[in-house]
Amino acid sequence: MQEKEELILILDFYGQYNQLIARRVRECNVYCELVRYDISADEIKRRGAKGVIFTGGPASVYADGAPKCDPKIFELGIPVLGICYGMQMMTQTLGGEVKRADKREYGETEVALESSVLFDGFGDKNVCLMSHTDFVGDLPDGFRTIARTPSCPNAAIENAEKKFYGIQFHPEVNNTVNGTAIIDNFVKKVCGCSGLWKMSAFAKETVKALREKIGDGKALCALSGGVDSSVAAALLNEAIGENLTCIFVDHGLLRKNEGDEVEEIFGKRFKSKFIRVDAEERFLSKLAGVEDPEKKRKIIGEEFINVFEEEAKKIGSVDYLVQGTIYPDVVESGKGNGATIKSHHNVGGLPDHVDFREIVEPLRDLFKDEVRAVGRELGIPDKLVDRQPFPGPGLAIRVIGEVTKDKLDMLRDADLIFREELERDGVNREANQYFAALTNVRSVGVMGDYRTYDYMIALRCVTTVDFMTATFTRVPYDTLERVSARIVNEVKHVNRVVYDITGKPPATIEYE
């Protein structure tokens, strides 16, 4: 089954959970793409979409400038599902009424359900995540109510004849019981998708698209040795083989022994060319005196590009730069009208001009676990696919404040101790990312009979599925005690260790 026959288009109205909708559709083994809300009905028809989903969004549909879809979408004869703002926008477009609620609904809410194909297999009640201040009042012609709460008389609506559905709650989040089942019912029972698409299809189609796009051109891959850039490199290796050159920039911001490990793995595995560039002194000189995290990210991003351009000139006539950007990077760096949380060196940290025809990001719409699945489909060993995530700016964003070689060496030693002890106790099997950070805090301590005034190390260990949200991992106290004792005894100029128990949100996983 080709993915074109399974295509669901998700129209993005800038809601915070939009990519999670795409994730849930893919979990139903149906291919989907997230596109701008203003895509034309003609384009949707040309692409052969079997259904359309309108996402949530922060706007009020009756406000000036509120984003609206092409109204001709409702004339295409294909199913439509509106979620939260998407439901309200559909209602208003088709002649219904949307108004301000007297009582807002936020959080998990019990919803009373009526018979509908969306709720096949459910009981008459379901706990759902509500997050809205507006609600649907009068329904458009042909619609009926299929779910309600005491505060929301139209928590879900349908026009079964035209296959138009709207739900005020968010089925894409884990807080909604049976949420994925609602989406599964829509894409399969309403849209008629077979559910045969798999991540192997993504890998196959992506390799094909890359081969067609690049042709006989040459590409340079920004290879960090992390999961994302490794999978991106593997896709390009399949697509263009010897026309790919992987550049590994050893910027001096790596974990202990990591540069040698990356060279050992990639210098021998890939058929494509592998070049290791020693750029430690260059990066550290650029970062000297810089404390602002956004400036650090942008300096690193720009210097990466400068190194790649220089290496490309040595190779001669390189058309494309390949990066392992994934969707959480895009979201945090600001997407569309979304807020910028922090600029990722491979997204918001890029300079305005780069000396390549185009930047290629084959993983841009995937979450971390989906990237790992693609890696397995491509035959990358589990040891590499399951490698700890490591940010492109490296330890520069785990050293709070100014970055120096001495601070990096302290952090490398502390980080290695933390990782060794978690792996020794098997905690790494339940954690998805764990590392040490060197804070910019110094405090008084005592070692023997002497007063010390040294740095504080913060330990971070989180459990997550998609890296969009995360909770701190419940590391056993005995493990933490041993880590702390080793760090203050083995790492010079550190006299205090703390464990971070903040989730995401409100924190991000990295410190800067």
Cis ω for the linkage preceding 140 (within 30 of 0): no
First to last CA, the chain: 43
Q: Which amino acid, residue 37?
A: Y
Exposure class string for 229-251: b at 16+ Cβ within 10 A, else e: bbbbbbbbbbbbeebbbbbbbbb
The CA distance from 106 to 133, in Å, is 9
The token pair that represents 493 in the structure block: 């100029």
The token pair that represents 272 in the structure block: 């494509």
Q: Which amino acid, residue 257?
A: N
The CA distance from 346 to 330, in Å, is 9
Beta strand ranges found along 379-466 (DSSP E): 433-447, 450-463
- Helix or strand holding residue 483 (H, E): helix 477-490
Contact of 475 with 435, CB cutoff 8 Å: no
Contact of 167 with 147, CB cutoff 8 Å: yes
Give me the active site residues, please: 84, 170, 172
Cis ω for the linkage preceding 476 (within 30 of 0): no
The CA distance from 33 to 192, in Å, is 17
Chain centroid to Cα 231, Å, comes to: 15
